[in-house]
């Protein structure tokens, strides 16, 4: 068995090959010992680790692992997953939505990190807990899928009430900007929708600016925050297409680092 691991701040993501097929699995970062036990129970021919917790995890393993630089592993994994999903790109923007978000310009063999933002999956989980008390990712994204944002977010049509706005009226003018106008209670569905909207719009707008700066026509989005999160995907795809660029959300994008580590 060949194993690649991306030991990140929130999740330990694993890609492994067995009987000529690639499989995936993950553990919460808080369960580092359980992840190590799973690896130690396998018969491993090749083991590589990347990510911020790679050194800590490696100390718990019976088989000494090769440590692969995180950006190097991620790009290698993305290029492999792009091919598997039927895409052929020489130059593109890579937006890696982890706990925070890191944005790169990939041009052939060149990989340049352009910018990052602290808005990402950690923001989604943290704000959702503060506003609703919820801590379960699946529950948050399920509630948020209803896209009930019109009372929480200030939309363009709120500003141009009674007149035709110059841009689509359902676009966000201010995230959470409508809250102070209302006195009624807000539901968990409304809050989780608004939080997902804030994260999705922020990472997309920043990505679009980087794409314009680098003359890129495609943005590849990866990260666990897209898993079972239809509202996040819809917003990212809509905003990207609105500016005439191609959005690509990889099927197994959250495992890019693990796949790249395995390939290395």
Domain extents in the chain: 2-86+255-263, 117-251
User: Is 83's pLDDT higher than 90?
Assistant: yes
- Is the pLDDT at 109 greater than 90? The verdict is no
Kindly give the pairing relationship between strand 21-28 and strand 91-97. Answer: unpaired
Among 70-79, 131-140, 174-183, 214-223, the least confident range: 174-183
> In this structure, what DSSP letter does residue 243 have?
T
Q: What percent of the chain has pLDDT over 90?
A: 83
- pLDDT per position as a tens digit, 203-222: 999 999 999 999 999 999 99
Comparison of pLDDT for 10 and 126, the residue scoring more: 126
Tokens of 202: 């922020």
Query: Are the C-beta atoms of 77 and 257 separated by less than 8 Å?
Result: yes
pLDDT at 167: 85
What order of strands is seen across the sheet that includes strand 66-67?
A: 21-28, 11-18, 2-7, 46-50, 66-67
Identify the pLDDT of residue 151: 93
pLDDT digits (tens, 9 = 90+) for 10-67: 899 999 998 888 999 999 999 999 999 999 999 888 999 999 999 999 999 998 899 9
Measured from the Cβ of residue 130, the count of other Cβ atoms closer than 10 Å reads 10
Q: What are phi and psi of 235, to 5 degrees?
A: -65, -45
Residue 70 designated active-site:
yes
Give the mean model confidence (pLDDT) for residues 89-107: 94
Domains 2-86+255-263 and 117-251 share a fold: yes
Hey, what's the torsion of the CAs at 114, 194, 247, 262, to 10 degrees?
70
Tell me the C-alpha to C-alpha distance, in Å, between residue 163 and each of 157, 159, 175. Answer: 8, 9, 22
pLDDT at residue 239 in the model: 95
What pLDDT sits at residue 92?
A: 97
Percent of the chain with pLDDT over 70: 100
Query: Do 196 and 223 meet the contact criterion of CB atoms below 8 Å apart?
Result: no
Q: What is the pLDDT of residue 108?
A: 82
pLDDT higher than threshold 80 for residue 132: yes
Architecture of the 117-251 domain: 2-Layer Sandwich (3.30)
Cα–Cα separations (whole angstroms), residue 162 to 47, 71, 175, 177: 62, 49, 21, 19
- β-bridge mates for residue 116, sequence order: 102
pLDDT averaged over every residue in the chain: 93
pLDDT in tens, 239-264: 999 999 999 999 999 999 999 999 98
Nearest in space to 6 (alpha carbons), one of 46, 45, 54: 54
Q: Which one of the listed residues 18, 70, 84, 164 is annotated catalytic?
A: 70
Tally Cβ neighbours within 10 Å of residue 66: 14
pLDDT at 209: 96
* 2-86+255-263 maps to CATH 3.60.21.10: no
pLDDT greater than 90 at residue 163: no
Q: Across the strands, what pairs with 147?
A: none
- pLDDT value at residue 90: 86
């Amino acid at each position: 068995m060949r194993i690649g691991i991306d030991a990140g701040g929130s999740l330990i993501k694993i890609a492994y090959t067995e009987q000529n097929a690639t499989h995936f699995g993950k553990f919460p970062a808080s369960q580092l010992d359980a992840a190590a036990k799973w690896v130690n129970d396998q018969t491993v021919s090749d083991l590589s680790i990347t990510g911020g917790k790679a050194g800590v995890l490696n100390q718990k393993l019976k088989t000494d692992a090769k440590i692969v630089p995180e950006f190097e592993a991620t790009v290698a994994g993305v290029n492999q997953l792009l091919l598997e999903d039927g895409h052929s790109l020489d130059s593109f923007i890579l937006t890696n939505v982890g706990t925070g978000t890191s944005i790169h310009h990939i041009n052939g063999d060149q990989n340049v990190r352009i910018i990052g933002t602290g808005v990402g999956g950690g923001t989604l989980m943290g704000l959702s807990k503060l506003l609703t008390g919820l801590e379960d990712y699946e529950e948050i994204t399920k509630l948020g899928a209803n896209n009930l944002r019109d009372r929480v977010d200030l939309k363009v049509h709120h500003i141009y009430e009674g007149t035709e706005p110059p841009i689509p009226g359902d676009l966000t003018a201010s995230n959470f900007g409508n809250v102070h106008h209302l006195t009624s209670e807000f539901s968990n569905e409304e809050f989780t929708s608004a939080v997902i909207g804030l994260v999705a719009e922020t990472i997309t707008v920043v990505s679009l600016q980087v794409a314009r700066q680098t003359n890129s026509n495609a943005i590849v989005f990866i990260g666990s925050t897209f898993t079972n999160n239809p509202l996040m995907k819809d917003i990212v795809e809509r905003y990207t297409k609105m500016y005439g660029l191609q959005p690509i959300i990889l099927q197994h994008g959250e495992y890019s680092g693990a796949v790249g580590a395995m390939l290395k």
